[in-house]
Structure 1
Amino acid sequence: MFGSGLAKGLAVTLRTMTRRSVTEHYPDVQPELPPRSRGVIGLFEENCTVCMLCARECPDWCIYIDSHKETVPPAAPGGRERSRNVLDRFAIDFALCMYCGICIEVCPFDALFWSPEFEYAETDIHELTHERDKLREWMWTVPEPPPLDEAAEEAKELAAARKAADKAAQAAEADRLAAHREHPPQATAEPSGEDSQGGAQ
């Protein structure tokens, strides 16, 4: 039994040694990365509400966020003024980041995404802290999500949006019918036979 295993191992080794090596001609030819590659983290700034969940859950504390509060005037007369957080700084120190993806998973507003971009080497370790402008640029390299399985259930957000749209359409149709009942269109009198033929002969 031992001899047969040794013979198989030698056969595999010989096949490996006699096979031509394949060289990737990087950087002239870019590598084909898997669709779920973890390169860097892109920031979709418009979705960020400065909730700080990503920074609090980061095991390495490599996310730096600064913000300030602004007062928003009331949406309707007589309403109250509201305050909202405005993002001033969003930076990630990729020298500390361990690419666990926890920040992306905990973000409730889909503001962080994995990008397959990997060419961000620096000669100085301090330059690996990338600010929000660079993180926003990486959003353009985020691939499209894969298509949903045809047998999968519809996303809750889409179902809620479709239900709200259907409800609004039904309400608009009910309002139109009610207005039609209150103010029916005036019936136009059809011309008599005499008038239509230019009078009696």
Structure 2
Amino acid sequence: MKGLLKGLQVTWHNLTRRAVTQQYPDVLPELPPRSRGVIALQEENCTSCMLCARECPAWCIYIDSHKETEPPVTEGGRERSFNVLDRFDIDYSLCMYCGICVEVCPFDALHWSPEFEYAELDIRDLTHDKDRLREWMWTVPPPQPLDPAAEPPKEIGVAEKAAHREAEKAQRPPEPGA
């Protein structure tokens, strides 16, 4: 009898509380910043190095590319070859959302997007191509600001010095006889 009264007391106590359940389709959840939803692709940064596909533990990234050559810029120079991305697919039915591909990408071509509503009725539709991955780039939040107390990266200093030299060179009058 004592157990029954205790159970009724707990039920009555919770019955008078306000519900904390969110009605998901009607009320969208507030996601924490930098939450992992879907992986977005910035195709311009991808060099088809295949590092993300090699490091993926689920082998869910498929990349196809081909090499193209660019004619030399100056006479007597060499042709420059570069990879052109033909196919970049991620199979989200296999993906573990571990983030290794985002971390190992040396060119910042992969980013976490907070989008999570991409359920499909057919499992074959969970393989997303580069066009669909590019659509999510606009949802990627901007990177967190740098620590103001930290010293700037070397790359920024080198780029600023090079830009300053170019500006000085452009402002100098041309040498006579040149």
Task: Please classify the TM superposition score into its range, dividing by the shorter chain length.
Answer: 0.7 to 0.9
What is the rounded CA distance, in whole Å, between the counterparts of 2:151 and 2:97 in structure 1?
Answer: 30
Q: Which amino acid aligns with 1:101?
A: G
Q: 1:55 aligns with which of 50, 53, 67?
A: 53
Percent identical across equivalent pairs?
Answer: 70
Q: 2:32 aligns with which of 17, 31, 34?
A: 34
Deviates more, 1:72-81 or 1:162-171: 162-171
Q: Which residue of 1 aligns with 2:20?
A: 22
Q: Which residue of 2 aligns with 1:147?
A: 145
CA displacement 1:129-176 (0-9 Å, x = unmatched): 100010000111101122222212223332221122223334445x44
Matches within 5 A, 1:30-179: 30-172=28-170, 175-176=172-173, 179=175
Matched residues, number: 167
What is the rounded CA distance, in whole Å, between the counterparts of 1:157 and 1:131 in structure 2?
Answer: 33
Q: Which amino acid aligns with 1:102?
A: I
Return the structure number with greater relative CO, CA threshold 8 A, min gap 6. 2
Q: Which runs of 4+ in 1 moved over 3 A?
A: 169-173
Q: Which residue of 2 aligns with 1:3?
A: none
Q: Cα–Cα, structure 1 residues 95 and 74, in superposed 2: closer, same or farther, change >3 Å?
A: same
TM-score (norm 2): 0.84
What is the rounded CA distance, in whole Å, between the counterparts of 1:77 and 1:23 in structure 2?
Answer: 70
Q: Answer 1 or 2: which has greater helix percent.
A: 1
Deviates more, 1:137-146 or 1:22-31: 22-31
Distance apart, 1:60 and its partner CA? 0.8
Q: Cα–Cα, structure 1 residues 21 and 67, in superposed 2: closer, same or farther, change >3 Å?
A: same
- Point out the structure with max Rg over C-alpha: 1
CA RMSD of aligned residues (A): 2.3
What is the rounded CA distance, in whole Å, between the counterparts of 2:32 and 2:82 in structure 1?
Answer: 39
Q: Which amino acid aligns with 2:138?
A: W
Q: Which runs of 5+ in 1 are unaligned?
A: 1-12, 184-201
Q: Cα–Cα, structure 1 residues 61 and 144, in superposed 2: closer, same or farther, change >3 Å?
A: same
What is the rounded CA distance, in whole Å, between the counterparts of 1:43 and 1:63 in structure 2?
Answer: 12
What is the rounded CA distance, in whole Å, between the counterparts of 2:63 and 2:106 in structure 1?
Answer: 16
